[in-house]
Structure 1
Amino acid sequence: MKKTLFKYFVELTGNPVASSLLKSVTTSRWSRPLIQPFANTYRINEAEMEHPIRHYDSLQALFTRQLKEGSRQIDTSPNAMISPVDGVLSGVGKINTDQTFLIKNHQFGLNEIMGTEKKAATYKDGYYYIFYLSPSHYHHFHYPIDGEIVSRYALGGVSYPVNNLGLRLGQSPFSTNHRLISEVSTAFGNVAIVKVGALNVNSIQLYNASKECVKGQDFGYFSFGSTVILFIENHPNFTPTVGLNTEVKMGQTVGEWVQ
């Protein structure tokens, strides 16, 4: 029961009014008494948090916490792709024709996720990863590979300011979830990083509009519930190195381009 209640606080609901109320409570100092019970319920590792738990003045402050430097090890091998987040790998494999992907309890095609058939075409016959971040997880996202941003856009149903980037969502709703897509040009082809936020609120925060991508670099976070999807352009030498339902840490190798 307690886990279900806490999950609503950080993943929100399908009801805009309820989501707005939960957001107000979670971001206020009134939620401070919930911090330690939340940490206990989800067995959050307090030793790796940037600050002692008493430092956080709201439940959302705890949810969006940073980690101590050195808490995650980054595989720096140039041909290794790392996990961009801490999470559970709820989907992984080859992208087949007409395939759908289970995200937030709904099935979506590649075209729907990427927004257009033209955008999706780059990743057909490639590979995909779906990372689910539970309330217990660290909620920042990092670059999975070195490269350069060649496209960054947002999709969903309402206006969406992203740290003064002036981005706006498209008109097609994605189960009312906002999503921000970063396409990275790498030495092995394109990689799309799709950040899917919470229901009914703008919950994806970017630090800046830099185009440089450094593997392992923190470039934003989720303020509420989240999923991250990676689409990898088809490459004859790419191989996933982790299996379905694996619990992964940011920086851990999840795939590699075999030389």
Structure 2
Amino acid sequence: MTVRRLIARFTEQEDLNFLLTNRVPRAALTRFMGWFSKIENPLVRDLSLLCWRLFSDLDLSEAKKTEFKSLHECFTRELRPGLRPVDPDPRVVASPSDGIIGAFGKIADTELFQIKGAPYSLLDLLGDPALVESHRNGHFLTLRLTSSMYHRFHAPYDMSIEKVTFIHGDVWNVNPIALKRVERLFCKNERAVLQARLPTGERLTLVPVAAILVASIRLHFLDRTLNAQSRGPLEFACDAAVRKGDELGWFEHGSTIIVLAPEHFEFADRVAEGVRIRAGEPLLRKP
């Protein structure tokens, strides 16, 4: 097969993936999945898990429970204790979740990128000019969670969460194919902006971004789930003191977390695009 034909076939596969996961009634499909996944019927559960296994690398060997009442309970499963130890080094900012490292690097003034050649602005992402100033010329890193991964996320460091802002939006797929084709995708999707302050006064911001089938983000310290049905207030002032490794919440399928850190932080040695990382492993280092 010639190189030209290989490229054409690859492009056709990308076109089909994009069509099936984006050129559909995304919001309606996401609402349906939210309802369907919570059905507590053994037949529905078993058939759903069978289909999920056929199309992903779902591995439940680490799960705390081996039986689930519903698909939703499997999505949001806990792991057996001790499987995600947190790096104890006080200089290390740990990964908040399992994930695949996507775009990362230095923020150019207030511009970052979802993939190379696809920039977006901090203001479009965060919607808060004061918070943008806190991260001007800082660092960013994107973690993509696939559907089969552990979906809970944790505090990357000892910190105080001061404010959460929920921003309504779309539910585009966040896979690499969509990131290449949809400009400013992260700024269009539903997302929560978690503003935190470290004991040293430095700001660290986490932005969990929802996606198709995933537009629900559970935050324990607010004791609520944020989704398209959430109605005001959409800004939550809080003073939630959390320790490194504490569970913050979960996605209800799989999605993306964007981490924003100060300029003087450095990326950990293993950080590279495409690397799989686990919650608790080194992500950034404080000087």
After TM superposition, the score normalised by the length of structure 1 is 0.79
Residue 35 of structure 2 corresponds to residue 24 of structure 1:
yes
Residue 166 of structure 2 corresponds to residue 154 of structure 1:
yes
Contact preservation (8 Å) 2:29, 2:213:
no
**Residue 277 of structure 2 aligns with which residue?**
248
- Aligned-pair distance for 1:67? 0.5
Partner SS state of residue 84, structure 2: coil
Match for residue 134 of structure 1 among 130, 133, 146: 146
Residue 113 of structure 2 corresponds to residue 86 of structure 1:
no
Number of residue pairs matched?
A: 233
Deviations, residues 195-239 of structure 1 (Å, cap 9, x unaligned): 11124874000112361121111110011332101100222xx21
**Residue 189 of structure 2 aligns with which residue?**
177
Contact preservation (8 Å) 1:127, 1:232:
yes
- Partners of 1:19 and 1:185 in 2: CA distance: 33
Partner SS state of residue 48, structure 1: coil
Partner SS state of residue 191, structure 1: strand
- Partners of 1:45 and 1:157 in 2: CA distance: 31
Contact preservation (8 Å) 1:89, 1:244:
yes
- Aligned-pair distance for 1:12? 11
Residue 92 of structure 2 corresponds to residue 75 of structure 1:
no
Residue 198 of structure 2 corresponds to residue 198 of structure 1:
no
Deviations, residues 54-82 of structure 1 (Å, cap 9, x unaligned): x1122222111111111112101111011
Contact preservation (8 Å) 1:94, 1:126:
yes
**Residue 248 of structure 2 aligns with which residue?**
219
- Partners of 1:147 and 1:85 in 2: CA distance: 16
**Which residue identity lines up with residue 155 of structure 1 in the other structure?**
I
Contact preservation (8 Å) 1:98, 1:109:
yes
Match for residue 239 of structure 1 among 260, 266, 271: 266
- Partners of 1:40 and 1:57 in 2: CA distance: 20
Contact preservation (8 Å) 1:12, 1:198:
no
- Aligned-pair distance for 1:107? 4.9
Match for residue 63 of structure 2 among 49, 56, 76: 49
Higher normalized helix content (fraction of residues): 2
- Partners of 2:214 and 2:279 in 1: CA distance: 25
Deviations, residues 141-184 of structure 1 (Å, cap 9, x unaligned): 101111111222211259xxxxxxxxxxxxxx966522111111
**Which residue identity lines up with residue 241 of structure 2 in the other structure?**
E
Match for residue 207 of structure 1 among 220, 226, 231: 220
Farther-moved stretch of structure 1 (208-217 vs 32-41)? 32-41
Identity %: 24
Q: What is the RMSD of the two structures over their aligned residues, measured on CA atoms?
A: 2.9
**4+ residue runs over 6 A deviation:** none
**Which residue identity lines up with residue 211 of structure 2 in the other structure?**
A
Contact preservation (8 Å) 2:149, 2:254:
no
Structure 2 residues without counterparts, runs of 5 or longer: 1-12, 171-184, 223-238
- Aligned-pair distance for 1:117? 2.2
- Partners of 2:135 and 2:242 in 1: CA distance: 19
Structure 1 residues without counterparts, runs of 5 or longer: 159-172
Partner SS state of residue 19, structure 1: helix
